[in-house]
């Protein structure tokens, strides 16, 4: 590879939460590739850059274009929202490259939706958790359903990405029933939309009420608490442990 290819995580969507390493990688690049929605958040950082942008469904094409330019000698930053390694483009880019070119690709982590949304909700991820995407584009529904069941059975706090897509709501519809087999209907569930962006929406409902939340869309992140997670106003808190807790459950 004559040039340079860096996969950059831009974080949850506001520059205040993008790392200096990410900003520098974009500033140093001559070409910036990415999904339009993520590029729009970068504003002035893109001035004077050559831009490779297209729609969400054209990811492979975009990665190939970025690879092609890097091979020709360009310094290319391929941006990915959140963390590029969590359902992001880091895997696709590396998979598209022959082994001998993979080591030259640099990957810059970002703050992923799970922790970005958790911070807005309080502290739901303080104990073991599972991250599951409800998108069945590349994964059989049976496996997604099985993972939901195992996460519920193991009392994992559970983060759901891509909860609903076009012509897709079946798995989301089944989710409350799957978790209600193992958790109380009072279990807090955090619903976060457009985190750190305009029209940010953060609320906590109960697992029993989740089926009524009809506004959940592809950009929503859901966090289902474990059996110890409790609600406090519009926040949810998961204790650090079970039983053997060293901290008094009652406030000091």
Restricting to residues 164-223, which ones interact with its own copies according to CB under 8 A?
none
Q: Which two tokens stand for residue 201?
A: 């929406």
Q: Which one among 2, 16, 181, 198 touches its own copies, defined by CB under 8 A?
A: 16
CB of 212 to its own copies, least distance (A): 25
Which range of residues in 42-50, 112-120, 176-184, 207-215 is near its own copies by CB under 8 A?
112-120
| 146 vs 203 by CB, closer to its own copies | 146
The strand pairing partners of 107, in sequence order, are 7
Which range of residues in 19-27, 30-38, 170-178, 202-210 is near its own copies by CB under 8 A?
19-27
**Which string of DSSP letters, residue by residue, matches 116-182?**
HHHHHHEETTSS-EEEEE---SSS-HHHHHHHHHHHHHTT-EEEEES--BTTB-HHHHHHHHHHHTT
Which range of residues in 36-44, 153-161, 184-192, 213-221 is near its own copies by CB under 8 A?
153-161
Q: Give, in degrees to the nearest 5, the angle at Cα 65 between 85 and 75.
A: 75
CA-CA distance, 242 to 252, in Å (whole number)? Answer: 19
| 48 vs 142 by CB, closer to its own copies | 142
Task: Kindly identify the residues of this chain, within the stretch 52-71, that bind its own copies according to CB under 8 A.
Answer: 60, 64, 67
Distance of CA 221 to the CA centre of its chain: 8
Number of residues that bind its own copies (CB under 8 A): 86
């Amino acid at each position: 590879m004559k040039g340079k290819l860096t996969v950059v995580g831009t974080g949850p969507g506001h520059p205040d939460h993008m790392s200096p390493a990410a900003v520098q990688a974009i500033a140093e690049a001559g070409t910036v590739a990415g999904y339009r929605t993520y590029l729009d958040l970068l504003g002035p950082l893109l001035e004077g850059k050559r831009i490779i942008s297209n729609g969400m469904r054209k990811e492979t094409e975009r990665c190939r274009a970025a690879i092609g330019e890097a091979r020709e000698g360009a310094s290319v930053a391929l941006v990915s929202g959140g963390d590029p390694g969590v359902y992001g483009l880091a895997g696709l880019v590396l998979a598209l490259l022959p082994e001998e070119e993979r080591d030259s690709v640099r990957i810059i982590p970002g703050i992923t939706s799970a922790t970005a949304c958790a911070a807005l909700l309080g502290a739901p991820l303080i104990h073991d958790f599972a991250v599951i995407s409800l998108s069945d584009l590349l994964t059989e529904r049976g496996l997604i359903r099985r993972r939901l069941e195992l996460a519920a059975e193991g009392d994992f706090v559970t983060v759901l990405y891509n909860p609903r897509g076009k012509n897709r709501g079946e798995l989301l519809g089944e989710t409350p029933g799957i978790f209600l087999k193992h958790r109380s209907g009072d279990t807090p569930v955090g619903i976060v939309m457009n985190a750190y962006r305009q029209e940010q929406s953060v609320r906590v409902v109960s697992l029993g009420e989740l089926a009524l939340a009809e506004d959940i869309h592809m950009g929503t992140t859901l966090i289902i608490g474990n059996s110890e997670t409790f609600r406090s106003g519009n926040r949810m808190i998961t204790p650090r442990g079970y039983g053997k807790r060293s901290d008094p459950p009652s406030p000091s």
